[in-house]
Every structure is written in structure tokens, then in C-alpha cells.
Amino acid sequence: MIELKNISKTYQMGKVEVKALQDVSLRVAPGEFVAIMGPSGSGKSTMMHLLGLLDRPDKGTYLFEGKELTGLSDCELARIRNGLVGFIFQQFHLLPRLTALENAELPLIYAGKRHLVERARRQIEMVGLTDRITHRPNELSGGQQQRVAIARALVNEPPIILADEPTGNLDSKSKDEIINILKGLNREGKTVIIVTHEKEIADHARRIITMRDGRIISDEKCRQGAESGTCESSFDAKSGFFSQQVNKIGRAKFIDYLREAGFSMLSHKMRSILSILGILIGVAAVIAMLALGEGARFSIEEQLASLGSNLLILRPGSSRLHGVALEAGTVTRFTFQDEAAIRKLPGVKRVSGSVTGRGQLVYGDKNWNTRIEGVDVDYAQMRASVPVVGRFFTESEERLREKLVVLGTTVAGELFQENNPVGKIIKVNQINFKVIGVLPSKGATGFHDQDDVALVPLTTAMFRLFGKDYIDTIYIEAENQLSLEPLTESVSDLIVREHRLRKDEDESFQIRNMAELRSTLEATTKTMSTLLGAIAAISLLVGGIGIMNIMLVSVTERTREIGLRKAIGANNQDIMTQFLIEAVLMSFLGGLSGVALGAGISLLITTFAGWAVRISTFSIVLATTFSLGIGVVFGIWPAKQASRLDPIEALRYE
């Protein structure tokens, strides 16, 4: 069944070479019960590790069923260990967070046979622990823990059982129980190899191999073990058992990895909570900061929408005479002829002249001083000023200089409180005006209240209120955004031509492009949002580093567990996947909690600070995705560190 040819193994202990095995050759037949004895340092444990494929020889050949296993990869050796070898350790190596049944199930995970849980239950019952099946290792005696370890070794029905000092930590009664179980397994056809330094334990075997200084010094058949020699092994070397078993071995499923990661997190609650907390704070900061930036952008967009879209504003400038700056409008004053000429330019959609001034409005015993603006009919559509109550004035009413007024919400509230002002007569600078509508609310920017205004027909404002024969400002709406640049040049050329201005007098008027203002404000808001997001991302990055640190500590704390998992069949990829899923799971939970916390913080900002915040789906997806990415990136290194651990060194780790 097993043949070792000229096996040697040397360990490097600092600068000293320790020859654990020296040219050892050995054959083990199916169904044998072999005891390997020798003093400490004789090489017996190294022999068992090589027989169980936990270690590789420096030279020599390992044959199983005539197939050489020496050159196989770590992954292939792990698959063979899972299906062909069952380990029983002196220290038991049970996982403290798992029950007896769950410990016995472990080899099934890496064989892809978790669904065969009843097999683990039967093995627990077979070793006499039916009433302890849900107990954890700290609730079991030493003998009971060793029985669980035996059940774990048998769950994949391996043909070989390797036991390293299986009775070393047990009392006399427990020793007898464990030996009887091993003898019973041998009678059933299992090949049993035990390592012991106790002669009375070795006497139960059918064959005793004695080692000293890395060599076999005796190999004897033992009559005392003859009772077990009457059995026939079910192993047939010609049946291709090796190939059959290896081909049966599957892979652990994702749900198994997820379950193991969850168990690990629950068994170290405080460590997991601290890791999750770092990601939680980072994601919450990202959500809150981006919501704040998005809210600011939305507020600016609302305010820009109230100014109108694709809009040019033509205003008189401040020219200079002999180096002295003059008042705006002293050189260029706009007229109705300018307005009419602009309407004829290509690319123009609407035009409205405007004059402004202050006025005292009186209704009953209430009065209010506000800004009065005279505008054309098109102003309502251009400046998003279509009344929400009542109506706007018409072209005929403007032409006839009718005394009509449309009030902003602030003015309407001051004069009429909750009452409907439409149809009421008020005095504007001692002149009776009829209220025909109320403008939509546009809000305030800084100290400027856009709703503190009263609109009247342009001609009425010029000739009845302010006594002006010129227009202060002309609003020009382009057909589309692409028309703004050429239209700006056309308007400029028109004003220069109509007013006979020299080229050096181009400062006598100004044309402001509202689209440029919009772009500038949007760029500023985007920069602010990016800055806030970057600051929050730093918090998330710090949380990721915290996860990496915690996972590295976890690798150190769980070194022996990793060694055990590799001994029962886990390969490097299994270990790496499990640790990586654990890191990602903590990041994911931190991300979900962070989204909830970030939403709560945003709500508090709105409630107590009054700032506009908007939580976008993009920010939630970005923060959650980034948190998962953090889990992957910062989990890979600890996961790789865990997967690279040597199973023997890991099992010996203190």
C-alpha cells in the first residue's frame, strides 16, 4: 500500500542542520496496525508527517499503490490527504467555537460533501458521544475530545489512520478506550499507524518499528497484536483505490467558505466589531459628504433655473473719460429700438427689456419697501416667473401702460399674510395698482431675497413710476446653448454699430452669459463634492488598513487552526478564499451599516443645520462598492500569508 525508498529529511535550525530522517525505507501493507516508537528526536513524528503527506522529503521516493507522490503539488497533496488519510493528534486540535458535530464535519467541507452531515453524526455516535454531539470542546473531557478527533479522522472514510501520540494527554481509562477504538478500526480493515513512546501502547499493534537518530533500528512483528491480525483488509491494491478516491474528492462550495467566515467572526466578536467600525465610519462619511455636495449642487441648479436657461444679459458698462471712471450708462443707454433690433438677430428666441428701482407698497394699514422691476411680457417665460396664482400682464396691457403688478411671495406675505392678493388694489409710490398675480418662490441667496420684488409692465415702470426714457437691462434668450457664443458676438456688433461706438469703448456695455455662470458654479460644486468625497475616502482607507491589521492578527492567532485545516485536506486556495471572504464580509457589513449611518447623519444635518442634502443612488453604490473593494484589496495580503503557512509549522505553533 505504502512504500518509502531511501527517504531523508533535514531541518535547518538556525545555523544547525538537524537530520530528522536518514535513508529510511519502509513498506506498509493494507490492514496493518503499525506502531512507531523511539525517544524524542528519533524522527518518529517526522516519519508520520511524511507518511501523511504533511511534509516532503529532501530526497527519496514515496509510493502509494505504486504511484509516486513525491513530486505532486501542494493542492494535489491536500486532495489526497482529504480522501486517503485521517489524522489523530495528541493535542486534539479541535476548533473551540465549533460543536463536536461541527468539528467532525470539517473534512467534508474540503471534500465538497457538506450535504453528508449524517455521516459525521454516525461517526460521533460510533465513538460513543451521542449525548455530547452539540457540546463544544471546552465542555468535553480529554478522552471525549480525542474521540471527536477520531470521528473527524473517519468522516471521509479514509483507508489510513495516522495517530500521533493519541493517548499522550489522557488518563488510563481514556487510553484504553482510545486504543480499543483504534483496534476496532483495524479489525474493520483500516490501516492504522500510531506514533508513541509508550511500550504498553505499542504492544497493542501487530508490528512495532523502533527508530533512533533518524533511522529504523528494528522492525518486528508482534504476537500480542495477533487478535487484530485475523481480520482481512478491504483494501485491494489492484483495484485502483488511489485513483478512485482522488477522483471522488470535490471542492468546498462558496456557502461553506461563507459559513466558516461567519463562524470565525462570531467567535471573535469584539475584533470583528472593531474592523467593521472602521469601514462603517468611512462609508458613513462618504455618504454624508457626497450627500452634502449633491445637496449644494441641487440648490445651485434650482437657483440657476430661476434665472432662466440659455440667457444673455445686456447691461450698460462703466467707461472712462481721460482716465476717470464714469457711472454705468453714461455712454450707452439702451432703447426700444435696440430691443427691437435684437429680436431680429438669428438665434434669438425671446427678448425682454427691464428697468428697476425702489418703491413703497401700501395696502390698508400695511406697507413694504421693495424692488420694483418693469419688464416685457416675455420675461415670465424667460426668467421662470410664470405666476402660481393669477396671471402675468399681456402685450396690450403693456402697450397701454396699465397699472398692474405681480408680487413676489415675500411682498405678498408682508402685505396680505395668508389672504389671496389677486384683484386687490395697492398703492405703489402713491399710485393705485391692481394685483393680478403672485410669482413662484425662488428663495434667497445670501442677503438677496429673490422673492422680495414686484413686477410691472415695462412702459408703466418707465413712464409712470421712474420717469425714464431708456432701458436699464435687456434679457436675451437664445434658441439653444450652441447659439450663445455666436449670439453674444452678434449683439455686441449690433450695439457698437447702433450706438456708433469706437472699438476702444467696448467697456461701455457688458454682455453676461448665464451659461458660463452655470458652468462655473457647477464646476465649483463638483470640485467641492470631489474634495469632500476624497476626505471621506481617506476615512474608508484607514478602515481598510484596520481590517488588514486585524486580519494579520487573526492569521497569527489562528495559525494552528490553519495547520489543522490543511492537515484534513484544505489547500492554499481554500485557506486564502476563506480569509478573503471573511475580510470582504466584514467590509460588506460595515458598508451596509455605514449607508444607514450616513443617511442618518444627512437627516440630522438637514434637521439641525438646515443645509440641503441629497443622498443619491450613485453615492450609495460607490461607497458600498468601494468598501467591498477595500475588503478585497486589504484582505488579499493576510489571506495569502495564511495560505502560505506550512501545515507542520502551523500545527506546532504555540
Kind of pairing, strands 366-375 and 348-363? antiparallel
How many percent of the chain have pLDDT more than 90? Answer: 19
- What secondary structure does DSSP assign to 394-444, as a single string? PHHHHHTT--EEEE-HHHHHHHHTTS--TT-EEEETTEEEEEEEEPPP--E
Cα distance between residue 16 and residue 563, in whole Å: 25
pLDDT in tens, 158-183: 888 998 888 877 788 888 888 888 88
Q: Which set of grid coordinates corresponds to residue 573?
A: 486556495
pLDDT surpasses 60 at 328: no
Higher pLDDT, 419 or 309: 419
Q: Which set of grid coordinates corresponds to residue 327?
A: 457711472
Report the pLDDT value the prediction gives residue 237, as an integer from 0 to 100. 43
pLDDT in tens, 248-294: 545 556 777 787 778 778 877 887 887 788 788 878 887 887 788 77
Cα distance between residue 437 and residue 423, in whole Å: 8
Place of cell 472514510: 157
- What secondary structure does DSSP assign to 293-336, as a single string? HHHHHHHHHHHHHHH-SSEEEEEE---EETTEEPPTTSS--B-H
**Burial (CB count within 10 angstroms: exposed 0-12, middle 13-18, buried 19+), residue 76:** middle
pLDDT in tens, 381-421: 888 889 999 999 999 999 999 999 999 999 999 999 889 99
Does the global pTM surpass 0.75? no
Place of cell 501487530: 206
pLDDT in tens, 119-166: 888 888 888 888 889 898 889 888 888 888 888 888 888 888 998 888
Cα distance between residue 495 and residue 332, in whole Å: 9
Domains and CATH numbers, the chain: 2-250 (3.40.50.300), 260-302+520-652 (no CATH), 346-500 (no CATH)
pLDDT-derived band of residue 446, with 50, 70 and 90 as boundaries? low
**Burial (CB count within 10 angstroms: exposed 0-12, middle 13-18, buried 19+), residue 26:** middle
Evaluate the CA torsion angle 567, 569, 570, 571 in order and state its sign: positive
pLDDT-derived band of residue 243, with 50, 70 and 90 as boundaries? low
pLDDT in tens, 548-580: 887 788 788 788 888 888 888 888 888 888 888
pLDDT surpasses 80 at 92: yes
- Bridge partners (DSSP) of residue 108 are none
List phi, psi (to 5°) of 7: -80, 130
By residue count, the chain amounts to: 654
List phi, psi (to 5°) of 227: -60, -30
Report the pLDDT value the prediction gives residue 517, as an integer from 0 to 100. 66
Q: Which set of grid coordinates corresponds to residue 90?
A: 495528541
CA-based angle 125:127:133, to the nearest 5?
A: 50
Cα distance between residue 517 and residue 608, in whole Å: 31
Mean pLDDT of 95-107: 86
